[in-house]
Structure 1
Amino acid sequence: MSVNPWLAVTGGTAGPGYAARFAALEEQGEDLHGEARRVHALLDGRPSDVLDAGCGTGRVAIHLARLGHRVTGADLDASMLAEARAAAPELDWRLADLADPLHLDHPLDAVVAAGNLWPLLTPGTHAAVVAHLAGHLRPGGLLVAGFGLDADHVPFTLPDDVPFPGLDDYDAACAAAGLDLQVRTADWDGAEPYDGGGYAVSVHRRPAS
């Protein structure tokens, strides 16, 4: 069975250091909420049901909740989820492998994958993950994912036997799951058109009918 690259790199102990790093950035005045603002805008500011897939320490999920959304966060790393639960115990946090169904009791308006989820998935599970995420979306729902496409844009060294899955692979998985590409940019602001660089933010939609 393949080992998850994130767990292989971090040993499943990255939560405290990760949370401390982002807390320091926030204290320095860094804007940490661009991903949440983009999803909020894509949902026209309406209170919505959102899954933060690969939520880590909860940075995006917690801000989405502050913006009025009903949020579930899911991650494979228990140390990251412990930080998320400590920061926002009132939210729904799930320790889960996204290659398996989450058994949510309601459909979703959006799934956001903001933390390099795609290249850090367990090899061989990419298509299954996208299929499960798409299956949670209500008609018209959005899958919003931003991730690096090369070593310069992923802040972790992947194991030697783990290649970077490309946008073609991602788009093929989305198409197989019945999702249509709406827009692709090079930033979370949605302002810079994607021109083939090393980072992309993609918005796919489940058809309304």
Structure 2
Amino acid sequence: MADTETRWQQERSAADSRDYIARFARLEAEGTDLHGEARAVDALLPRGARVLDAGCGTGRLGGELARRGHRVTAVDLDPVLVAAAREHPDLTVHEADLATLDLPGQRFDAVVAAGNVMIFVARGSERQVLARLAAHLVPGGLLVAGFATDYEYTVDQFDDDLAAVGLVREHRFSTWDLRPWHDDAGWAVTVARKPGN
């Protein structure tokens, strides 16, 4: 049975969310490259793709994908982060739980769950989250997810959940700059596809 609160809600306060926003603003001001995820996702997509940034946080990834010409809808459960994401003029932002996500009539060429989204959802809801994300993909659409491998939700569990919701794993990398996967990697970037077209 799934927890009622996400791990993010259990582990982070509004003050933590504000610190998260400030941290990335500071990194950007220092010239840190914050767009590796967007470059990787952009390379997988046709021009002008419809993208769902699932667990969008501040909208950093979605904003960069929009800057690269994609049509991006973003969603997050944290109201502090949603407010920050709404500062990106090219994003359509929703405040919602991924486990119950329902954007009527909207289907996407890709769903991106970067930045540890899968390990911050409610315990026991991972398969439900993936089912909701898969439901928002067009046939042939991609799910791209990245998360650290040192948490309780494992890559093997993720693979089982992908298969259970009908998504087919196509690639796995150990970094967002697409270095080869190895079993002791500290990060997993997975590309899965919804069958069809």
Is contact 2:63–2:90 with CA below 8 Å preserved after alignment?
no
The 3 A distance-change label for structure 1 pair 108 and 89 is same
What CA distance in whole angstroms lies between the structure 2 residues aligned with 1:105 and 1:88?
A: 23
What CA distance in whole angstroms lies between the structure 2 residues aligned with 1:113 and 1:19?
A: 18
SS in 2 for 1:115: coil
Residue 137 of structure 1 deviates from its aligned partner by 0.6
SS in 2 for 1:80: helix
> What corresponds to 1:206 in structure 2?
194
1:100-125: per-residue Cα shift (whole Å, max 9, x none)? 13224321000011110111110121
Which runs of structure 2 are paired with 1:90-169 in the superposition (5 Å)? 90-150=90-150, 164-169=152-157
1:67-98: per-residue Cα shift (whole Å, max 9, x none)? 0111011111001111111x214421111000
1:194 aligns with 2:181: yes
Percent identical residues = 47
What CA distance in whole angstroms lies between the structure 2 residues aligned with 1:15 and 1:88?
A: 17
Which runs of structure 2 are paired with 1:67-82 in the superposition (5 Å)? 67-82=68-83
Counterpart of 1:97, as a letter, is D
Name structure 2 gaps, 5 residues minimum.
none
SS in 1 for 2:64: helix
Counterpart of 1:168, as a letter, is D
Cα RMSD of the aligned pairs, angstroms, is 1.4
> What corresponds to 2:42 in structure 1?
40
SS in 2 for 1:26: helix
What CA distance in whole angstroms lies between the structure 1 residues aligned with 2:40 and 2:181?
A: 16
1:132-160: per-residue Cα shift (whole Å, max 9, x none)? 10111111100000000115xxxxxxxxx
How many aligned residue pairs are there? 194
Residue 26 of structure 1 deviates from its aligned partner by 1.3
1:30 aligns with 2:32: yes
Detail structure 1 runs of 4+ shifted over 4 Å in the superposition. none
1:34-88: per-residue Cα shift (whole Å, max 9, x none)? 11111110014x1110011110011001001100111011111001111111x21
Match of 1:182 among 159, 170, 177: 170
TM-score under structure 1 normalisation?
0.88
Counterpart of 2:39, as a letter, is R
What CA distance in whole angstroms lies between the structure 1 residues aligned with 2:191 and 2:22?
A: 30
Counterpart of 2:156, as a letter, is D
SS in 2 for 1:14: helix
What CA distance in whole angstroms lies between the structure 2 residues aligned with 1:50 and 1:135?
A: 13
> What corresponds to 2:61 in structure 1?
60
TM-score under structure 2 normalisation?
0.93
What CA distance in whole angstroms lies between the structure 1 residues aligned with 2:114 and 2:51?
A: 13
What CA distance in whole angstroms lies between the structure 1 residues aligned with 2:104 and 2:73?
A: 9
